Chain A
Amino acid sequence: MHKCECEQPLVPVIVEVMDIKDETPDIKSFFVKNPGGNGLPFNVAPGQCAMVSYLPVGESMISCTWQEEQEYLQFAIKRVGLMTDELHQIEVGQKIGLRGPYGNGFPVEACKGKDMLFIAGGIGLAPLRSFIKYCFKHREDYGKIKIIYGSRSYADLCFKDELFELWPQQKDTEVFVTIDNAEEAWKGHVGFVPSYLEELNPSSAGTIAVTCGPPIMINFVLKALEKMGYNDEQVITTLEMRMKCGIGKCGRCNIGSEYICLDGPVFYLAQLRDLPQEY
């Protein structure tokens, strides 16, 4: 059999899990590098994804929550299905498969000079975090930053050290955290993200809003933003669908003629208006 010389986008590279961190009871962060700790297999821009695989079981498309250059790729993964169940069992040192980077990523250049409003729910903070941290890294390129984030409970809030310690200390940055139901020890805001957003009513002037979370939250957030005067070019969201190939071939993640894995996952609301409402 002739050995093929072409690029093999569907064949993963092997990486090593260097560290695992519990974020919430059902979300863990996995820090990966080339085996033996020699650099990264590829670079991932903010908002891009990669196919993460516990090879004997399956592959899942996961948004890369942060790339620390030369240091690690970080994936925050919620336990929801077969593959992610298995991943949650592994220990540091485990080799896993990785292929990517996939998707368009956030328009970090186009947003320069703007005030940024990030609105996330649950694991939806994971993709936004790559953009948030990018803004902090290039702090002078962006204006004021507001982050509104909510989860079901305090325990379910991801990246707590950053939410409560690191991010609020950043220049011109405000972080607003809410949980769905009151808890005894919780002194902060209680309520759903969309209504908290309306309460805070951040000005739309010169601002780009970026949102990610469960579909129901996104729906209400988009409505709230519209009410608050954000136009469709000021709102960015990320979509999610079942994926298998990650390179726009296997068919299932289409919305209209767009493939989320390839043409997304990041869309301006203006682009979504042209697509069937199937997400």
Chain B
Amino acid sequence: MKVLSKSKLETALNKLNQSAEVFLPMQKDKESGFYSWKLFNQGQDELMLNALNVYLPPKNVVLPQTERMYSIKQEGQEIKIDKTFEDSSPRVIFGARPCDLKAILCMDDVFLTRGYEDSFYKCRREAITIVANACFQPGPACFCAAMEINPLEPAGADVIICDAGEAYSWEAKTPKGEALTAQITEYLEEKSLSLPAAKPFVQDVKYEGVAEKLKGMFNNHIWERLGESCHNCGICTYVCPSCYCFDIQVKMWGDEGYRFRCWDSCMYEEYSREAGGGNPRGSGIERFRNRFLHKLEFFKERYGTPLCTGCGRCIVACPAGINIVKIIDEIKEAELDA
């Protein structure tokens, strides 16, 4: 098999960096997330490829938190759209864990299927090559396998690497992956490598049947109890690798400006507030319910897979200690209202 020795990793990254912007898991000061290799400060920052995962997912690479869409220019009654800002510059996400990769596939479903292709997403996405980092040692908060993911052989990767101590195995899975491989072929060796044995998951999460059961639980009393300590902040949605909801807004200086889109959160009251002031999800509990139903039921009904990828980030970040694993358990145990 092809092998990338860890001692050659940085030179390989430098090579890839010549033709694409490479995003990797890094610790920068107190934060960890996917940052450009260009911003890596030798001696200060730490590469986190060997860590379980980083706190902020690579979502912003495929769906930036703020993304300009088009320019607006007004002259009297005339209005012009001179420029649109689709960005198809080449990028590599290097070392995405299977949970984060699956989250991107979920976003592909949203932005590229069901009648319309979102041009801003499509241009950016087509120029992205994903090197997935297989997981042999799930962390204590992980439950990707329960959410229909194979952590050892994740679907949808362009390249899959496996950490075997001194080196990574390197396997191209798609033409894009082959092209990436060709770029660094001088740093790859052909040899056999023994991969680590997969460790069992710490948490036992049973998602089977949850989506189906939830269909009858919209009006269940359980939501009040589960959601009443929720602060309705947006942390869970913003650290989530798969939450994709966005807002479209405009910024003008006098007669010129642009329209942009930015992440939005279904936890915010403003999210579904109508122009006339009405809001079908005016209460925090209703918004809480909608989020979990979207993750565990609605998305599965529409796209055939849950929108939760078991990365555990929301569990780690929630100020109120709300735990999606516990919620799945409680849904399983809940009695259906008569």
Given contacts A4-B86, A10-B69, A14-B79, is CB(A56)–CB(B74) below 8 Å?
Answer: yes
Residues of A within 8 A of B79 (CB): 14, 55-56, 95-97
Q: How many whole Å from B161's CB to the nearest CB in chain A?
A: 28
The interface residues of chain A lying within 8 Å CB-to-CB of B257 are 56
Closest CB-CB distance, A11 to chain B, in whole Å? Answer: 5
> SS class of chain B's interface: helix, strand, loop or mixed?
mixed
Q: Which residues, 8 to 57 on A, are CB-close (under 8 Å) to B?
A: 8-12, 14, 55-57
> Considering only CB atoms, which chain B residue lies closest to A59 in the complex?
B248
Q: Which of A233-279 contact B (CB under 8 A)?
A: 240-242, 244-245, 247-254, 256-257, 262, 276-279
Check if B21 is an interface residue, CB within 8 A of chain A.
Answer: no
Give B247 Cβ to nearest chain A Cβ, in Å. 6
Within the assembled complex, what's the spacing in Å between the Cα atoms of A10 and B250?
A: 13
CA distance A277 to B290 in the complex (A): 12
Contact B302 A250 (CB under 8 A): no
Neighbouring B residues of A97 by C-beta, 8 Å:
79, 81
Measured in the bound complex, the distance between the Cα atoms of B218 and A82 in whole Å is 33
- CA distance in complex: A96, B74 (Å): 10
Asked whether any CB of chain A lies closer than 8 Å to the CB of B170, the reply is no
Does B252 interact with chain A (Cβ within 8 Å)? yes
How far, in angstroms, from A252 to B286 measured CA to CA in the complex?
Answer: 13
Q: Is there a chain B Cβ closer than 8 Å to A206's Cβ? A: no
Return B311 CB to nearest CB of chain A, in Å. 19
Interface of A, secondary structure class, is loop
A251 B246 Cβ-Cβ under 8 A: yes
One of B72, B114, B255, B293 near A248 (C-beta < 8 A):
B114
Q: When the two chains form their complex, are residues A95 and B78 in contact, meaning their CB atoms are under 8 A apart?
A: yes
Among the listed B86, B127, B248, B286, which residue makes an inter-chain contact with A250, where contact means beta carbons less than 8 Å apart? B248
CB proximity to A under 8 Å, residues B119-172: 119-120, 122-123, 127
Interface residues of A (CB under 8 A from B): 1-4, 6-12, 14, 55-60, 80-84, 90-91, 93-97, 215, 240-242, 244-245, 247-254, 256-257, 262, 276-279
14 contacts between A and B (CB under 8 A): A11-B81, A11-B84, A11-B119, A56-B250, A56-B255, A95-B78, A244-B247, A249-B110, A249-B118, A250-B247, A251-B246, A254-B290, A254-B298, A256-B218
Additional A-B contact list (5), CB under 8 Å, known A55-B250, A56-B257: A4-B84, A56-B255, A242-B275, A249-B246, A257-B301
